[in-house]
Amino acid sequence: MSLYALVDCNNFYASCERVFAPHLIGQPVVVLSNNDGCVIARSDEAKAVGIPMGAPLHDYHAMMKKHGVAIFSSNYALYGDMSARVMRSFHHFTPDVEIYSIDEAFLGLSGFDETTLPDHMRRMRRAIRQWTGIPVSVGIAPTKTLAKLANRIAKKYTSDGVYMMTDHDLMPRILGDIEVEDIWGISKRWGARLRQLGIGTALQLQQASPRQIRQSLSVVGERIVHELNGHPCLTIEEVQPKQTIMSSRSFGKMVSDLQSLEEAVASYTARAAEKLRQQNSRAGGIYVFIRTNRFRQNDPQYSNAAMVGFDDATSDTASLIRAAMGAIRHIYRAGYRYHKAGVMLTDLTAQDGGQMSLLNPDPTPDETRQSQDKRMAVLDRINTKMGQGTLFHATEGITLKGHKGGNIYGRRIHDPRIQGTERWRMRSQFKSPAYTTRWNELAQVK
User: Residues 227, 145: contact at Cβ < 8 Å?
Assistant: yes
As a whole number of angstroms, the distance between CA 309 and CA 307 comes to 7
As a whole number of angstroms, the distance between CA 156 and CA 170 comes to 17
Q: Is 114 a catalytic residue?
A: no
User: Residues 16, 78: contact at Cβ < 8 Å?
Assistant: yes
As a whole number of angstroms, the distance between CA 109 and CA 120 comes to 11
Helix/strand/coil for 271: helix
What DSSP string describes 4-39? EEEEEETTHHHHHHHHT-GGGTTS-EEEE-GGG-BE
User: Residues 149, 183: contact at Cβ < 8 Å?
Assistant: yes
As a whole number of angstroms, the distance between CA 396 and CA 264 comes to 7
User: Residues 339, 426: contact at Cβ < 8 Å?
Assistant: no
Spot the catalytic one: 104, 227, 262, 274.
Answer: 104
Catalytic residues: 104
